[in-house]
Amino acid sequence: MTFPRPPKYQATSFWLSMPLISLAFCYILYGERIFTDVRIWLVPWSIIYFVGYFSYRMHYWFNHTVQQKYPSLKDTYIRVLWKVPLNLFVMTPSVMLIILLFHWFHVLGYTLNTEHLKYGYMIGLATNIVFESLWEVIYIIDKYREAAAEKEMIEQMQLRQEFDNLKEKVNPHFLFNSFNTLSSLISEDKDQAEKFLDELSKVYRYLLRNNESGMSTVGQEVAFIRSYSRLLETRYGDGYRMVLSIDPGCIDREIPSLSLQLLVENAVKHNVVSKVQPITVHIYTNTDGYIVVENNLNKKARLVQESTGIGLANIREKYRLLNRDDILVEETADTFTVSLPMI
């Protein structure tokens, strides 16, 4: 038979309670003599401690076995029923053994008194009920903590997987539109196409580096959108203009990666962009804790390329995974505005 090591809280409760239990037993067996005969604090006290420790280890072994067989929270009722025999097969024999040992060896002149058996049994029963209840409550609390931690871990894994799926959508989306722009530019101006390709390589390196975490600081996103805007300026010339008004105190706050790029890309994709009808994208922070992307409206009669439907929906989904649903979208006759809460 192997005896598993009891947890620290059970060992502590045993050593703290044994002086009181020993004192109660000695008083039952010797009465007022415990205050006048110093020998009682040596021999009887030692016997009670020895038997008590053996009883405690057997108690824990039985308790541990039941918990191993019925470990879950739904098995609590069964565990409690199984622990009832502890009083019959562990605690009661221990109490009987202590008193009989004192009688058989006439320890300090002790002679058996049936009343002592009754009182000793009551001490054992009370001790068993108190500590068994305490240990079961602690076990249940630990199980609740384990269940909560496991649930949180599963939820985090699910959120991470959803976030990764969204990121996988963003990269092809960005490449698809960039290569279409490059394809159009090659036929119009090869020098500009070469310049565009050089900027594209810089932007994509940044995209790969900063899209891993799912979140980026406002400062990182603004630096990225500057690079991305240079691509658009190469493609559209005077037809595209960006204005940045970012509060320096907000640069360390966070937003989902590539949010600004998606909104700027949508503005260009859904509106006419030309020297005659230029588009201006204004990106700024406000005192309500939002970073705002605003562009003037000059909608295309129809889209040359079919929309993939990612853009704004992608950003909304990322914020949903952050338990935030306070994205603000406003469209007037002249402007389209999206306000993203900074985390």
Q: Could you list the pLDDT tens digit for every one of the 343 residues in the chain?
A: 566 788 888 888 888 888 888 888 889 888 888 888 888 888 888 888 888 888 888 888 888 888 888 888 888 888 888 877 777 777 778 888 888 888 898 888 888 888 888 888 888 888 888 888 888 888 889 888 888 887 777 677 666 666 665 555 555 556 666 677 677 667 776 777 777 777 777 777 766 666 555 788 899 899 889 888 887 887 778 889 999 999 999 999 999 888 898 899 888 888 888 888 899 999 999 989 999 999 998 887 665 444 444 578 878 888 887 778 888 999 988 999 999 999 8
Q: In angstroms, how far apart are the furthest CA atoms of the chain? A: 116
Residue at 300: amino acid letter: K
Dihedral angle at the C-alpha atoms of 71, 73, 78, 84, nearest 10 degrees? 80
Q: What is the pTM of this model?
A: 0.50
Name the DSSP class of 239: G
Residues of the chain with CATH 3.30.565: 189-341
Report d(CA 340, CA 343) in Å as an integer.
9
The two beta strands, 240-245 and 279-285, are: parallel
Kindly state the tokens that stand for 189.
């101006």
Write a three-state SS string for 51-115. HHHHHHHHHHHHHHHHHHHCCCHHHHHHHHHHHCCHHHHHHHHHHHHHHHHHHHCCHHHCCCCHH
* CATH of segment(s) 189-341: 3.30.565
- The CB density around residue 279, as the number of other CB atoms within 10 Å, is 22
| Dihedral-angle region of residue 49 (phi above 0 means left; psi in -120 to 50 means alpha; beta otherwise) | alpha
